Amino acid sequence: MKLVFAPADRSGWPGVSDAQWADWRWQLRNRLCQLDEIAVRIELTPAERAGILLARQRLALAITPHFFSLIDPLDPDCPIRRQVIPRLEETHRGPHEMADPCGEESHSPVPGLVHRYPDRVLLLVTDRCAAYCRYCTRGRLVGGTQEAGFRPELEQALRYIEATETIRDVLISGGDPLLLGDSRLDRLLARLRAIEHVEFLRIGTRIPVFLPQRITSELVAMLRRHHPLWMSIHMNHPREATREVRDACARLADAGIPLGNQTVLLRGVNDDPATMRELVHRLLAMRVRPYYIYQCDPVLGTAHLRSTVQQGLAIIESLRGHTTGYAVPTFVIDAPGGGGKIALAPDCVEELTDRRVVLRNYEGKRFVYRQEGAPRAAVLSEDLADA
């Protein structure tokens, strides 16, 4: 059956014209940031009310009308509201939680630049997002909640990249870089593209999901001038795959920008096989390759949103062999303390010697792959006793 992409439900915004709703600047100006404007639209729980009142002590609160329209106003367990509505649980601090769980500060030679891997860097260009995920890894930086504020030193970072010839790949993130104006982003991309040893650029963004109206024809025309350019978007639940998001991704894909998706495994949002399978199928239908599933980082105040590694592995196991390989992302943990991404996979190798490998497939059947001069053949499990 062909997947249906429904438009966002605008019934909560009576009197708003089509032109206003389609204007990304209108969406930003009308973000929901206060208790009273949220409480008139959805039935809040006491924990949500308390969380909203305390939100700025930890992480800014802002939700675009587009994304807010996806919330079930009567369901406190709605997977959309769990991602963006603060809860009192955010004030709880677990023993292993950290402000900087990925150790970015320890790998930052310049404010706003993270150089963890030999050939690539992460360039943070802004501290602002269209909306704020309650599990944000960079909650210490984004939204202007810090007293000192986050001030990336872009010129210093660019000079570092120019001087470091091992850098071939630059990932531009933040905050969300697509909140920069077209001309400013154009100048940044041109400056990076002019560095001879930088082979390709990537943009990490949730704008196509939070604010699909931002993906204008003018923005796309500018981006296509800076190829090879790749983009990683961030979608966690199939309900986020609206018609507007599909169309925004189509504009990017038609401009030759390869799209990948990064999902965070979240308790009560997507930590079950059926939800994740529907999500990856919708992504492929939008020409977005499911790239990573992240184990939720141990950020301060996120225990209520973190699922288990066992559940993540079970989800990967449920996808392998039951859908196309293009739909199976890599499950990773960004190692606490700055160890980088470490891939996790269900254990499909039951035995490994110089002579043979015993493998288990998606059906649970066992096969042998022979090595070191032995006849290379695969045999069914009933032949193992004779191997």
Q: Which of 138, 214, 246, 251 is catalytic?
A: 138
**Cβ–Cβ < 8 Å for 112, 125:** yes
Q: Enter the DSSP assignment of 101.
A: T
Q: Is 321 left (phi over 0), alpha (psi -120 to 50) or beta?
A: left
133 is catalytic: yes
**Cβ–Cβ < 8 Å for 69, 84:** no
How far from 12 is each of 8, 31, 35, 48, 71, CA to CA, in Å? 11, 13, 16, 20, 11
Q: Which of 100, 127, 271, 297 is catalytic?
A: 297
Q: Are strands 289-295 and 340-344 parallel, antiparallel or unpaired?
A: unpaired
Q: Which of 100, 176, 271, 334 is catalytic?
A: 334
Give the closest residue to 264 by CA, choosing from 170, 384, 134: 134
341 is catalytic: yes
**CA–CA gap between residue 168 and residue 120 (Å, rounded):** 6
- Cβ contacts of residue 155 below 8 Å, gap of 6+? none
CA atoms within 13 A on the CB side of 307: 22
282 is catalytic: no
Q: Which of 81, 82, 87, 116 is catalytic?
A: 116
**CA–CA gap between residue 42 and residue 40 (Å, rounded):** 6
Q: Which of 136, 140, 294, 306 is catalytic?
A: 136
**Cβ–Cβ < 8 Å for 128, 176:** yes
Q: Which of 72, 117, 289, 356 is catalytic?
A: 117
**CA–CA gap between residue 197 and residue 162 (Å, rounded):** 8
Residue appearing with tokens 């009192």 = 88
Q: Which of 102, 129, 249, 296 is catalytic?
A: 129
What is the SS3 assignment for 242? Answer: coil
Q: Which of 41, 49, 320, 341 is catalytic?
A: 341
206 is catalytic: no
Q: Enter the DSSP assignment of 329.
A: P
102 is catalytic: no
Q: Which of 120, 134, 202, 306 is catalytic?
A: 120
Q: How many CB atoms lie within 10 A of CB 14?
A: 6
Residue appearing with tokens 């939204």 = 143
Q: Which of 133, 214, 239, 294 is catalytic?
A: 133
117 is catalytic: yes
75 is catalytic: no
**CA–CA gap between residue 357 and residue 367 (Å, rounded):** 8
SS3 per residue for 38-61? HHCCCCCCHHHHHHHHHHHHCCCC
Give the closest residue to 191 by CA, choosing from 164, 223, 226, 218: 226
297 is catalytic: yes
**Catalytic (active-site) positions:** 116-117, 120, 129, 133, 136, 138, 297, 334, 341
